[in-house]
Structure 1
């Protein structure tokens, strides 16, 4: 019999049941791919992370003031640094390129209906399509959109899109001063809508940094759970994405 510790964390929030829920399983040894999949299915969350120590001296506890750990993930290295009450993640920046809206008119129609669109950009590296609603649309327009995942998935015929970002300009003069808002949909990966999406902000950060002329931004993802992200676009082609996290469940998996 084996027991595996498991934690459920809500990320990009300081309140339980908000932000992005994820399961984290610290491991003493590697498991089989089949077992990873079964545990992830059992947890039934968008993300389940399994952590093993490469260097046994690594320590990421509250007793350490500002430790930085580098995680070797299947998507590459991810550096995480504790900062105050939150954490800062070091991601590659993914600048999108402007596209002809007509090439994606069906998917845009499926997502936003007849609302006016100001910009359409695509990040080929991440296969994420960014659609910016016109500035005449406020936050309520974005949050009220009813996006059907089946219709959305079937309307994409270019073969270039695996994720859809909807975004509008924020209200930096109103507290807490969000620079932009967004929502993210990925039915192509079985995710009708992701609560809060770090990878989408590697695209959003690049886009809005240029549009707003700012390196540091505060973003809010307007899913039903909602999440807040602090962004810093760096000159070395990378982006820092920071947020808080709360633990809402702690237990063990018995195998």
Structure 2
């Protein structure tokens, strides 16, 4: 999927509203990705173009693309990912908590980080082994090229250990619907981006998020690091200075940018330097 946001349209809107156009930032660039960050990157790009009407951002999003390769071959200036890459400049704009989600009727109270690793490695076959119901564990996995899956495996030390038989679902929204709609005994479990997970809980969807190491998965605990299942949301680019790339990075860290980011992810602490 390619999402193209026209800078010319934004410039016209700014003229109509009487807002001054900035002459400091101009040019075009592509931002590439394939993970769950699409919505927030599109929103950032749109707002950036409104603030800089001579700038044009092409958001290139494809589940099967390789964003890092697009940057390395200079087909894109920024790749959105969750891990740093040797030879590329890494710039953090947010945190993404990784929530462990089960059906609300599952009375498992909490898990440790080690138990999460063993759970998704296939060691636990029934929830009773974790203090839950005497029902079979149904693992939901995510596509191998997803940023949250890479970070999840790396943090838990389970790369390549998630059972091949686990059901693979790409989108957080579909994962949540699957957990909520799983036929009794509601035994599914998945790892989900915290923003989407909290939104589902607040909306009354019959799911719940398990505390990890006695820490609730919440925005404040992700921001201060007490909830350790989290990954950075990173913008990767070439090391050579690029005014447009740097302007977009600074916009993402601005008050307006972090407000947009907070709709899906955990903003960085104001005193934090990425």
- TM-score when normalising by structure 2: 0.25
Higher helix share: 2
- TM-score when normalising by structure 1: 0.26
Higher strand share: 1
The higher radius of gyration belongs to 2
